[in-house]
């Protein structure tokens, strides 16, 4: 009998569930993500035009500047609202990474600098770094092997 | 367990609600006592802010009752944070005998039911019960850091930043806002929802179950209640609970069956499915409904606070979300009996 | 506020367009003896449909070439560069060839040509300048 009610309740809940508006979210994410990349492109151009950076070398400082921007936006409480609006659009660019780091740092400030901020700053972004390093390692391994064999 | 009947009708003699800045947008904001201008409330951390909320609501309840802390026989507090520390710390500063309770968002009615039982059993003369929740500290504990820009689905609920407390007394001489009539303690129900952003749906069966049991055991019919108020089921859970109840042959109209989570942020953008948190039901019941009872614009209500008993650990370990609901029926003040 | 945003965007958009403007083709030779080389190279670049703008500088033993790739062909930049490089190396095996599609190199070369044409640079300065640009190109990070 209880099992029956569980199933019926689940059906009732599913029936009333509000679905994520996937298409609308995609469009919003596209626009906002595009805008963030556009800002990044402007930063790159400024670096190329006014500083001694080439297209090759400008990418690293651009990333740093974009992370700095997202840091400010996070600190002023704006990024959270942007994130709710844009979803992946604001999470996927490097600014999302900056937001994940900074929000954790702000959050754990109350537990002190070493154990709070230091210990938790990569709480969310840590897995990005871990899996980034792991996948880079394996890709490098595959490439090395292929070169040794002589495929590439 | 059978429904508890309280023949002595313990009285709610005063109540206090303190709320955060966001709750000012609520259509029921005028029934809350104190507001804070920012989420930190002048404290260093959100957890301390939550304690301050609790203390503020307690002191406004005491002030309205004209009582001092020494006159309180027992405190029953609860909240959502690990080891219910905001409640414990608030109790530390009040210094009365203290019972800490946890049943997530159902803590408000668990506290009220226990307060009624303590008084009806003659173990205490005045009991102060209250719950608190804070949006930022709850987000931090259960989800992501406050400033993290993650997207919440439309089923997500907004944790209310507020604290509500009430003083329950056996004193028949005092003017009561309302009386506690009966209470039914709920059973833990799990309908195998794993999404912590869809807690309303998870709690629907628990709510429906306790309502059904309350009605059967107290031999009341639906018509005996002006309102049946659920705690924080929000859009999805409330609609689902209504469906489940009608399958159980309990038919409620949408005017009679209402939800605090849906009401508290009615017409507020940013909030997805509705409010949640123990303070959601507490602030609405202790702030609004109790005063409606005192004005006799309501005769009898059944408050069903619902709670999702999850922890960040359990849902990461892919456990389903067990849920609880407690029902307390309140009646308007008995005039002339004083 | 609205006006500000609007003007901000239009400035950015307009300045963005400036990048894709054609400013060449420009040919610089530091010695007259290189006339022939420059002619051949620029003819080849003009004959390549993927490219649209170029600066060719011939100095002593080095040949510095910068070009812009049409936007549609930017995905094939690597293969275009390879093709160019092969062609140049085959044709001028005795020369050191510096080939770049980098915008920064392009504007640096453009600036250099400007200075050179105005006669602000003597031969030694010019060679130093070219060397600097080559260093910039070789910089990786």
Cα–Cα dist A40/A95, whole Å = 10
Say how many C-beta atoms besides its own lie within 10 A of residue A75's C-beta. 14
Give the model confidence (pLDDT) of A10-56 as tens digits. 888 888 888 888 999 999 999 999 999 999 999 998 998 888 888 88
The share of chain B scoring above pLDDT 70, in percent, equals 99
| Tokens 């009998």, located at residue | A1
pLDDT higher than threshold 70 for residue C141: no
Give the model confidence (pLDDT) of B177-229 as tens digits. 999 999 999 999 999 898 888 899 999 999 999 999 999 999 999 999 999 99
Residue B72's contacts (CB-CB under 8 Å, 6 or more residues apart) are B62, B94, B96, B126, B127, B128, B167
Give the model confidence (pLDDT) of A96-107 as tens digits. 999 999 999 998
Class level of CATH domain B180-331: alpha beta
What is the model's pLDDT at position B88? 94
What is the value of pTM for the model shown? 0.85
What is the model's pLDDT at position B338? 42
Cα–Cα dist C4/C7, whole Å = 5
Beta-bridge partners for B78: B101, B131
Q: Do A54 and C16 touch (CB under 8 A)?
A: no
pLDDT higher than threshold 80 for residue C35: no
**Both tokens of residue B162?**
């507020």
What is the model's pLDDT at position A67? 94
**Candidates B47, B147, B204; nearest CB to A9:** B204
What is the model's pLDDT at position C19? 59
**Candidates A42, A45, A57; nearest CB to C139:** A57
Within chain B, which residue ranges are assigned CATH 3.40.47.40? 4-169, 180-331
| Shortest distance, CA B44 to any CA of chain A (angstroms) | 7
Give the model confidence (pLDDT) of C8-22 as tens digits. 767 666 665 555 666
Q: Is the sign of the CA dihedral B271, B274, B276, B279 positive or negative? A: positive
**Domain extents for chain C?**
23-138
**Candidates C15, C16, C139; nearest CB to A54:** C139
pLDDT higher than threshold 60 for residue A1: no
Say how many C-beta atoms besides its own lie within 10 A of residue A25's C-beta. 17
- Count of CB contacts below 8 A, A vs C? 31
Give the model confidence (pLDDT) of B226-274 as tens digits. 999 999 999 999 999 999 999 999 999 999 999 999 999 988 877 888 9
| Shortest distance, CA A59 to any CA of chain B (angstroms) | 24
Put simply, whether A51 touches C (Cβ < 8 Å) is no
Right CATH number for B4-169 from 3.40.718.10, 1.10.510.10, 3.40.50.1820, 3.40.47.40? 3.40.47.40
- The full DSSP string for B217-250 is HTT--GGG-SEEEESS-HHHHHHHHHHHHHHTT-
What chain A residue is nearest to B139 in terms of C-alpha separation?
A107
């Amino acid at each position: 009998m209880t099992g029956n009610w569980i199933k019926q309740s689940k059906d009732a809940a599913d029936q009333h569930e509000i679905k994520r508006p996937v298409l609308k979210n995609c469009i919003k994410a596209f626009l906002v993500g595009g805008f963030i990349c556009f800002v990044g492109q402007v930063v790159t151009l400024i670096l190329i035009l006014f500083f001694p950076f080439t297209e090759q070398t400008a990418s690293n400082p651009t990333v740093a500047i974009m992370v700095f921007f997202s840091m400010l936006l996070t600190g002023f409480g704006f990024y959270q609202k942007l994130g709710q609006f844009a979803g992946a659009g604001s999470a996927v660019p490097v600014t999302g990474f900056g937001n994940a780091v900074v929000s954790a740092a702000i959050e754990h400030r109350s537990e002190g600098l070493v154990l709070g901020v230091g210990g938790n700053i990569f709480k969310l972004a840590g897995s990005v770094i871990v899996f980034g390093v792991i996948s880079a390692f394996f890709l490098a391994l595959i490439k090395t092997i292929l070169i040794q064999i002589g495929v590439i | 367990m059978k429904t508890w009947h309280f023949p002595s009708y313990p009285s709610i003699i005063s109540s206090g609600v303190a709320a955060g800045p966001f709750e000012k947008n609520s259509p029921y904001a005028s029934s809350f006592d104190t507001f804070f201008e920012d989420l930190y409330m002048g404290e260093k951390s959100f957890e301390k802010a939550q304690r301050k909320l609790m203390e503020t609501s307690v002191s406004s309840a005491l002030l309205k009752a004209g009582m001092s802390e020494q006159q309180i026989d027992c405190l029953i507090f609860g909240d959502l944070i690990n080891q219910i520390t905001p409640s414990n710390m608030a109790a530390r500063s009040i210094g009365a005998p203290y019972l800490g309770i946890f049943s997530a968002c159902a803590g408000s009615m668990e506290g009220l039911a226990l307060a009624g039982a303590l008084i009806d059993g003659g173990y205490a003369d005045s009991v102060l019960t209250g719950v608190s929740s804070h949006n930022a500290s709850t987000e931090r504990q259960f989800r992501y850091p406050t400033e993290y820009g993650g997207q919440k689905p439309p089923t997500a609920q907004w944790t209310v930043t507020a604290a509500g407390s009430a003083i329950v007394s056996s004193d028949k001489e005092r003017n009561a806002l309302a009386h506690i009539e009966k209470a039914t303690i709920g059973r833990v129900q799990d309908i195998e929802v794993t999404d912590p952003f869809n807690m309303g749906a998870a709690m629907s069966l628990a709510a429906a179950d306790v309502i059904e049991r309350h009605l059967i055991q107290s031999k009341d019919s639906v018509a005996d209640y002006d309102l049946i108020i659920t705690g924080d089921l929000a859009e999805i859970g409330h609609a689902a609970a209504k469906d489940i109840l009608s399958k159980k042959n309990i038919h409620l109209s949408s005017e009679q069956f209402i939800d605090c989570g849906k009401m508290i942020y009615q017409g507020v953008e940013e909030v997805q499915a509705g409010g949640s948190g123990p303070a959601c039901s507490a602030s609405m019941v202790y702030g609004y409904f109790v005063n409606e009872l005192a004005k006799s614009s309501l005769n009898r209500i059944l408050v069903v606070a619902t709670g999702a008993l999850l922890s960040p650990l359990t849902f990461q370990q892919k456990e389903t979300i067990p849920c609880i609901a407690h029902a307390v029926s309140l009646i308007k003040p008995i005039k002339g009996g004083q | 506020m609205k006006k500000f945003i609007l003007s901000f965007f239009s400035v950015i958009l307009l300045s963005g367009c400036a990048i894709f403007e054609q400013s060449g083709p420009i040919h610089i030779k530091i010695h007259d003896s290189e006339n022939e080389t420059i002619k051949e190279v620029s003819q080849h670049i003009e004959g390549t449909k993927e490219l649209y703008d170029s600066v060719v500088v011939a100095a002593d033993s080095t040949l510095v070439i910068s070009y812009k790739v049409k936007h549609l062909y930017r995905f094939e930049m690597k293969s275009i560069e390879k093709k160019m490089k092969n062609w140049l190396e085959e044709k001028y095996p005795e020369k050191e060839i510096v080939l770049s599609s980098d915008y920064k190199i392009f504007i640096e070369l453009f600036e250099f040509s400007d200075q050179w044409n105005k006669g602000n640079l003597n031969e030694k300065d010019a060679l130093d300048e070219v060397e600097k640009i080559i260093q910039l190109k070789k910089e990786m990070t």
